[in-house]
Amino acid sequence: MTKKIAVFVGSLRKESFNRKMAKGLATLAPKSLMLEIIEIGGIPLYNQDYDDGGTPPPAWTAFRERVKSFDGFLFVTPEYNRSVPGVLKNALDVGSRPYGQSVWGGKPGAVISVSPGTIGGFGSNHHLRQSLVFLDVPTMQQPEAYIGGAAQLFNADGKITNEATREFLIKFINAFAAWVAKNSSKNP
């Protein structure tokens, strides 16, 4: 049975390395996973007053409803100032509210951080994992994925050209498929 995986890209840049990585992972995924990028750049900043007043912005409602339909989550993120980009944190916050109605809980996830730097977004990867623990997203522990040197990994068409990275990503996405199968609340 194919599991639908929502992919959240933490960078808004059209040509971001993280978007290229998300697209690359979709081509490497086994048939048991269908990856779909969910755009998060247009989600208004979270403000509890709108939920308390019963007037959440339509973009929040649409995002929450859409995310509910997925079986798991893949987060592909850069590192901004040793942490998670604001756009990704905002998506987590909007999806976690109103209190008691989180769209995240119980669905399996994985994190991959991508950076032109040598430490591969280690700080953002771990900050994101802290939030996912609180949000009850069982997050794959191994293999960890910190992809550095991103500027040298893709060709002009955005395809992954580094063979060692490609092999690692196949291992990563196959491990994630097994993680989803093991931890999916929708498993028969």
Q: What is the pLDDT of residues 101-149, one digit of tens each?
A: 999 999 999 999 999 998 899 999 999 999 999 999 999 999 999 999 9
Is the Cβ–Cβ distance between 172 and 141 less than 8 Å?
Answer: no
Domain range for 122: 3-183
Q: Where are the beta strands (DSSP E) in the chain?
A: 3-9, 33-37, 72-77, 109-114, 146-147
| Domain-located, residue 85 | yes
Rounded distance, CA 75 to CA 34, Å? Answer: 14
For residues 187 and 5, the model is more confident at 5
CATH number at residue 10: 3.40.50.360
What is the number of alpha carbons within 13 Å of residue 51 lying toward its C-beta?
Answer: 18
Residue pLDDT, tens place only, 32-82: 999 999 999 999 999 999 999 999 999 999 999 999 999 999 999 999 999
Domain-embedded: residue 188: no
Q: How many C-beta atoms lie closer than 10 Å to residue 91's C-beta?
A: 22
Look at the chain and report how many structural domains it folds into: 1
Residue 144 lies in a domain: yes
Q: Helix (H, G, I), strand (E, B), or coil: what is residue 61?
A: helix
* Residue 102: inside a domain: yes
Q: Is residue 86 part of a domain?
A: yes
Domain for residue 130, yes or no?
yes
Helix extents (H) in 29-156? 48-52, 58-68, 86-95, 122-134
- Judging by beta carbons within 10 Å of its beta carbon (0-12, 13-18, 19+), is residue 41 exposed, middle or buried? exposed
